[in-house]
Amino acid sequence: MRENKIYNDILKYLSNQASKYNGNLCITTK
């Protein structure tokens, strides 16, 4: 379970960075 949480945190971090980077693209995909 702990590895899973770390993995989820990494995914959250990456999608966060991606949304900052993409800006408007992220809004259109959601």
DSSP state of 23: T
- What tens digit of pLDDT does each residue of 1-27 get? 688 999 999 999 988 887 776 665 655
> How many domains are there within the chain?
1
CB 20 within 8 A of CB 12: no
pTM attached to this predicted model: 0.51
Supply the pLDDT for residue 21: 67
Where in the sequence is the domain holding 2, given as residue range(s)? 1-30
pLDDT at position 20 is 72
